[in-house]
Amino acid sequence: MTDSLVAFVFVQTQLRDVKVATQLARIPEVEELHRVTGEDCYVVRVRVSSTEQLGHVVRDKIERIRSVQSTRTTLVLKTLKDKPDVRRSAASSSG
C-alpha cells in the first residue's frame, strides 16, 4: 500500500457544529473522525504517503476550515492492534 503513514490530528475549533465535522469528513485522507471531550473537539485519523503530504493535509485542508483554531499532530510509529469494525463487517456480509 502506498499510503503507509498514519497520524492522529487533534483539532480545536471555535464552534462544535455539524458544518465543521462535515468539512473534516469530506477530506479524502481522513479515515476516521471522532468528536471528543476535553481540550480538543475532534480527533481525526489520516492516512497519507509522506510527511510532506501530511503537512499539506493539515495546513491546506484542516487548518483552512474557518472554525479551526489549532491542531496537534501525532504520527503513528507502529500499529500494534487495529481491530476491524465488527458491526460494519456483519452489515456488509448480511446483504
Q: Is the pLDDT of residue 70 over 80?
A: yes
| Residue 86 covered by a domain | no
* Tens-digit pLDDT profile for residues 21-32: 999 999 999 999
As a whole number, the mean pLDDT across the chain is 90
Query: Residue 54 belongs to what domain range?
Result: 5-78
Look at residue 55 in the predicted model and tell me its pLDDT: 98
| Residue 62 covered by a domain | yes
| Residue 88 covered by a domain | no
**Higher pLDDT among residues 22 and 86, named by residue:** 22
| Residue 14 covered by a domain | yes
> Residue 16 sits in a domain of what CATH number?
3.30.70.920
| Residue 74 covered by a domain | yes
Backbone angles phi, psi at 44, to 5 degrees: -120, 130
| Residue 11 covered by a domain | yes
* Tens-digit pLDDT profile for residues 52-64: 999 999 999 999 9
DSSP codes of every residue in 46-66 = EEESSHHHHHHIIIIIITTST
| Residue 17 covered by a domain | yes
Structural domain count of the chain: 1
pTM: 0.84
Task: Select from 77, 10, 8 the least CA-distant residue to 45.
Answer: 8
Look at residue 91 in the predicted model and tell me its pLDDT: 64
Angle, alpha carbons 65-69-74 (nearest 5°): 90
Nearest-Å Rg of the Cα atoms of the chain is 14
